[in-house]
Amino acid sequence: MDTKQLNKLTMYLAVEGICDDTTPSWQTVQAFADAYADLEARVTNIQTFAQSQTQKVTGITQDKKAAREAMCAAALPVANAIHAYAIKTKNNTLAASVDFTMGSLMRGRGLNSLERCQNVYAAANTNIASLASYGVTAAKLIAFNAAIAAFNLLISKPRDTRAQGKTVTGSLKNEFTAADEDLTIMDDLCGQITDAKFVADYNNARIIVDITASHASPNAPATAKTGTTSTPKV
């Protein structure tokens, strides 16, 4: 799976998170529900194919490094905001639990970084009602959670699974095409959903973000630093 597909899969996972958390908002629109059920199946297929796709070890290592850096970069401003809130409210335990630098988030093995970032996300969710004035928005948490999911997908990828490269690549392309069609239907039907918060969160989740763009080499062309690459039609 290439970077463009990984970015798109990250968006799919973010959409799934929003839909799973707010099922009553859209389940009465049957065509939306049908499209979402198919999207879930496509995402499962994509993850299965991605795990069996032939890749060089160096490619896997590079993808994991980029996804790990992106996850920690998303975690740091959230951790800092929680730390500021904890200092303000004299909550020393909370302050200590999120007292990170980029270096400390990245320290150790990938699983260590994943655990730290998951803890930061959990702390943000627990205190979300108090963090709005500290800059922690729903959109930031959606992007942060998607970055965690993207790295988690890579860190658990089996090393010893190899398949016919062309067959898997073609299957992946077909699944992404079908998933995009499902999302087009869901985009079209958002106007039938009356929950304004769900629609706003859905639109935020539908933005495709290049999770590696902010970590490009200093010698890379300027175009490699573009962040947002696509937005929903709603």
* Tens of pLDDT, residues 170-218: 788 899 999 999 999 999 999 999 999 999 999 999 998 886 654 444 4
Domain map of the chain by residue range? Answer: 3-230
Identify the band that residue 55 occupies on the pLDDT scale cut at 50, 70 and 90: low
191: amino acid identity, one letter = G
Distance (Å, whole) CA 192 – CA 190 = 5
Determine the pLDDT at residue 154: 85
For the stretch 142-166, pLDDT in tens is 999 999 999 998 886 645 444 445 6
Identify the band that residue 61 occupies on the pLDDT scale cut at 50, 70 and 90: confident
Distance (Å, whole) CA 86 – CA 157 = 36
26: amino acid identity, one letter = W
Distance (Å, whole) CA 205 – CA 145 = 10
What's the mean pLDDT in 60-73? 90
